[in-house]
Amino acid sequence: MSSMSTIRFSRALPVALAVALSLSAGCGKSGPEGNAARGGAVGTEAPEFALPDLDGKVVKSGDLRGKVVILDFWATWCPPCRKEVPHFVALQSKYRDQGLEVVGLSLDKGGAQDVKPFVEEYNVNYMMLIANDETASDYGGVTGIPTTFVLDRNGKIVKRFLGYTDPEVFEETIRPLLTAS
């Protein structure tokens, strides 16, 4: 390797490592500090919300009772979030008839105006709601995205995932919940 190649490689390595870490860990989000004791803790009932969908219709968390829910805090500008979307589309298609409801909670500041084009481009087949800092705070202070919660049919938080999560992990988590009576 020439000395010029070595210099270019040594300069590119830190950048490549930073990108890799951000993709694996998730995107930072400014907002309230975490407070899992307030809400969002595994084993507790999921906090209630009433949020608008992309057409402005308000959806209440209580409307999801009786379904296994993947509740994903995300944003269109977050690379790990964008990477998860096709996996959620596939899970929704595969398990919808068994009672799965994937719900995206967008934290995009531009609201539906930012999210609608993304939903159309990626053929999103699941519910998309516009969340806010209050909702993020209620769920323990979501300070990094994606942050994803899996809820059982009674609205209890079964798992919390921070950062990109492989689709197989979600599938392993929801399958027993879907077959439980």
Tens-digit pLDDT profile for residues 124-172: 999 999 999 999 999 998 989 999 999 999 999 999 999 999 999 999 9
Let me know: does 50 contact 132? Beta carbons within 8 Å. no
Residue 18 lies in a domain: no
Whole-angstrom Cα distance, residue 165 to residue 80?
9
Residue 9 lies in a domain: no
Range of the domain at 34: 26-179
**From the centroid of its chain, how far is CA 68?**
15
CATH number at 150 reads: 3.40.30.10
Residue 143 lies in a domain: yes
Count of domains for the chain: 1
Q: What is this structure's pTM?
A: 0.81
Residue 16 lies in a domain: no
CA-nearest of 135, 154, 153, 156 to 72 is 135
Rg (CA), the chain: 18
Whole-angstrom Cα distance, residue 50 to residue 155?
15
Residue-wise pLDDT for 29-47, tens only, equals 433 333 444 588 999 999 9
